[in-house]
Amino acid sequence: MIAGVALLLIGNLCYMIIRSKALKSDSFADILLRGQAELAGRLSQLSDLNRQEQNRITDAINEQKLAVLKIMDEKLLAVTKSVGEGLQQSTTKTTETLHDLRERLAKIDVAQQKISSLSEQVVSLQEVLSNKQARGAFGEIQLNDLVTSILPPSAYEFQVVMSNQKRADCVLKLPNPPGTIVIDAKFPLESYQALRNAQNEREKVEAERFFRASVLKHIKDISEKYIIAGETAESALMFLPSEAIYAELHANFRDVVEASYRSKVWIVSPTTLMATLNTVRAILKDASMREQAGVIQKEVGILVEDISRLDDRIENLSKHFDMAARDINDIKVSSGKISKRIKKIEDFELGEPDHTLAIEHKMAENE
């Protein structure tokens, strides 16, 4: 802009010098005044141009600012929207995570309560098993649940006093053979606990000896108390309310199991007792079917007699039908003769020739 003003001034000076040479008759003062006046006019025009250019530049700058501000506003709005959406998604995910976390914590609390309850139950079970009478009641309750869930009420009885005044925990009423079978639910658990708690080899050997002796004595007691000739079957059942003890006996004390076989005392666990009771139920059902077979055979005999009697009556009725059929045929013949005679009478009344009547009389005599 300054360079343009300088060029404009230089041009005006040149113009003034040229005009001064052309107008020699004028004085230098007049020329200078005219030049100043023209220069002032030029400067005024230049000032106007400069002001217009400044206004145009200012408008352009303002427009550029507005455009930049608009672009910045749009970008800022887009960034704000993106940040807002991201924050909303993050908030949603955080809320869901917190909700899941609360649910998991609630489940953990429930599981913790169950674990605490189970721990209390285990402690209670240990207290029960540490008491001999309570342990016996525990075995009897388990035996009661198994027997009552499988057999009909008529097939068993609990706490039965035998003829030798010994009380049996449970008696299975089976037909002969085999007869009544006694189940004993008491077991010397102390020896098994000592075996499980053995810390070294010496304690383990002593615990095994104690366990073997205790089980053998219990087998002998069952054989002497609950196998009575003429009253019970030739065998009895020793119920173990623990699968672990049953497995221990069959795995490491085979001689004890064989001794129970010789004494005819069958050792059963909850699982094997369930299978035994299902077999007993099948035996009872078979015996019931055999009893019902006699009744059915008797009823079949009576049915055969009724059928024979029905055959005789049908035969008599058939004979009556035959006689009735013959009588009906005779009636039909007599009816036909009567019809013919009525026809003859009608023909006679109508005045038929005598020789026709004679022929008819002859036919009637032949009949």
Encode pLDDT of 6-23 as tens digits.
555 555 555 555 555 544
Helix, strand, coil fractions of the chain, as percent rounded to 5? 80, 5, 15
Phi, psi of 69, rounded to the nearest 5 degrees:
-60, -40
Asked whether the beta carbons of 256 and 216 are under 8 A apart, the reply is yes
Q: Which residues of the chain have pLDDT under 50?
A: 2-3, 5, 22-26, 122-125, 127-129, 134, 353-355, 357, 359
Question: Cα torsion at 353, 358, 360, 361 (round to 10°)?
Answer: 140
Asked whether the beta carbons of 185 and 136 are under 8 A apart, the reply is yes
pLDDT of amino acid 318: 79
How far is Cα 363 from Cα 350, in angstroms, rounded to an integer?
A: 20
pLDDT of amino acid 124: 45
Query: Among 159, 214, 164, which residue's Cα sits nearest to residue 182?
Result: 159
Distance separating the N- and C-terminal Cα atoms of the chain: 172
How far is Cα 153 from Cα 171, in angstroms, rounded to an integer?
A: 12
How far is Cα 162 from Cα 180, in angstroms, rounded to an integer?
A: 11
Asked whether the beta carbons of 137 and 143 are under 8 A apart, the reply is no
pLDDT of amino acid 345: 76
pLDDT of amino acid 88: 79
Asked whether the beta carbons of 284 and 152 are under 8 A apart, the reply is yes
Predicted confidence (pLDDT) per residue in 188-236, tens digit: 777 888 888 888 888 888 888 898 998 999 999 999 899 888 888 888 9
